[in-house]
Amino acid sequence: MYSYNPFRSWTAEKPEPSTKKDFLKLSDLIEFFFIAHPKSGTREGEEHERVMFYYPENETIDKKTDITGFAIAIVHFTDDFTNKEDRLLSSSEYDHRYVTSKNCFEIVIQIEKGEFLMGIALNRQSCLKNGYFVHLPTVKAILAKTYETYRLFYGTFISLFNQNLETFKERIGTFFAHYLSILRVNQIPFLDLFSGVDFMQLSSLEFLSVQCLVNRCIEEFSCIEKIICLYQDQLMQYSVEKSDLIVLFRYLTQNLIPNALQNELQPGGAKKKSISESHIGKFITGSIDFFGKENGGAENEGPTFPIVYLTSNENANGLPTLDAYHLVAYRALNTTMCMFVKTVTPEFLQQLEDFLDPELCKLGSMIGDKVSNAPRNAQNDMSFYFIYFNPDSLSLKTNFSSPYSTSSSTNVPLPPKSIYKLACETLEHFFDEKEEFVQVQVKDESDWWVVVKKINERILILFIPNTAPSTIVDIHDTVTNIVKTYFANMFII
């Protein structure tokens, strides 16, 4: 077990969400959660062996065995109705089963090509009591994210499972028990459904400056294999695989950077993690306390940085191969450069800081000037809410507020909760993934309009309050104007 605790930043105090009820604790809704290894429980009398982790942990072993057995039975039952070709097509990671009953909503997903099953059930009454509308694809996305977060810090299930079963159970037990207790879900399902990143809008020159700095880092330090560069909580450049980007971005913007920012804002600042006092920036991951001290530890004890597992390529079984990297994050003037290296030495860190600090300060200063001189945030002029998602570039933009976001949101009051349910149902019932161009306009009893638009794979969802009686034709004109004014660069009209 590594000394780095990925939850350390989560336990620190975070800024309070703008509305306490915007987010709910998953633990208030959950009925059960499990991770099962079907092949471990095939022998009669040993069915309970398939249970790798179960929450709540004090449930009886019979119930745990039953629940996991039921999940396996459902997978096999539904597989019987699909032919082999369709099964192969749908055998992508996270092939799901949704199970609804009078008391619960349950989602089961297959992990690591069906080697493991992961399932979660939400209690209907608890969801109703907390005003949470259960959108099954959203809960599936949340479930997938829990797995990806584990995989980011500890690698695949199967790798540790094959090494040592008890260690594997202990590891997932510790991780998921804690993760489930702190995980929060958004009242607006779409914000959990779409997995994307917030890209910073840069001019060509600015982007070129970022790219040049990244290239120079990689050239100068051959041990740096991948880089992510952010300004505040927006992404400027990345060279990790797309499959790793979302989980990394989430971790960086929801934990690492907010924690670093809080330390910066504290009076006197936290203990400066800079090797040299003359530098403005500092490392925000890892321990470099060994520098210049007699730590009395092992002679060869060096700097410790968190280990993350990133995708390199797929192996023969179609499973991604993960490589372990140290996450070395350096931050100066709101700019964070995250570098992924295989080995870290004190000399490397010293050289890195000497090289990076002035360059990052220059970049941060340039971007900072642009941000402070930018015209008033266009989003403040918006009299509507929107969610934009491009599944190709992973760009996700919204003006719904987030406790992790530093940008301000529109002054329009939030739509009533019935609108989110309506929007989810519109997306499910009227959207065919195969269709390239779709537009659906729905008016709610509360006179809010929900418009879901898809062009060239990009999805735009608008929530428009109705200030005057309007017909479908009026709202069509309104939507056209909105797209022309605010999203002209994103859609080809």
Measured torsion, CA atoms of residues 263, 264, 267, 271, in degrees rounded to the nearest 10: 60
Shortest CB 114 distance to other proteins, Å = 13
CB of 32 to other proteins, least distance (A): 11
Q: Is the dihedral of CA 393, 398, 403, 408 positive or negative?
A: positive
Tokens of 23: 């987010």
The answer to whether 290 and 333 are in contact (CB under 8 A) is no
Q: Residue 177 burial by CB count (10 A; 0-12/13-18/19+): exposed, middle or buried? A: middle
Residue 124 or residue 417: which is nearer to other proteins going by CB? 124
Q: Are 141 and 107 in contact (CB under 8 A)?
A: no
Q: How far is the CB of 425 from other proteins (least distance, A)?
A: 10
Which DSSP state fits 194? S
> Smallest gap, in angstroms, from Cβ of residue 375 to other proteins?
34
User: Which is nearer to other proteins, 245 or 424 (by Cβ)?
Assistant: 424
- Decide whether 66 or 447 has the Cβ nearer to other proteins: 66
Minimum distance between the CB of residue 74 and other proteins, rounded to whole angstroms?
6
Residues 6+ apart with CB under 8 A from 320: 243, 311, 312, 313, 314
Which residue, 428 or 436, is less far from other proteins as judged by CB? 428
Closest separation between CB of residue 430 and other proteins, Å? 9
Instruction: Pick between residue 7 and residue 94 the one whose CB is nearest to other proteins.
Output: 94
Query: CB-wise, 331 or 453, nearer to other proteins?
Result: 453
Residue 96 CB, nearest approach to other proteins (Å): 7
Is the Cβ of residue 80 or residue 445 nearer to other proteins in the bound state? 80
Q: CA–CA separation, 303 vs 439, rounded Å? A: 54
Q: Compute the least distance from the CB of residue 100 to other proteins, in Å.
A: 5
CB closer to other proteins, 2 vs 77: 77
For the four alpha carbons of 237, 238, 243 and 248, in that order, the dihedral sign comes to negative
In angstroms, give the least distance from the CB of 450 to other proteins.
Answer: 15
Q: What is the DSSP string of 299-330?
A: TT---B--EEEEEEEE-TTSPEEEEEEEEEEE
- HEC states along 59-74? CCHHHHHHHHHHHHHH
Strand partners, 229: 237, 337
Is the CB of 379 or the CB of 426 nearer to other proteins? 426
Positions that interact with other proteins (CB under 8 A)? 66, 70, 73-74, 77-78, 80-82, 86, 90, 95-104, 136, 428-429, 471-473, 476
Task: Tell me the C-alpha to C-alpha distance, in Å, between residue 120 and each of 71, 141, 188.
Answer: 10, 11, 19
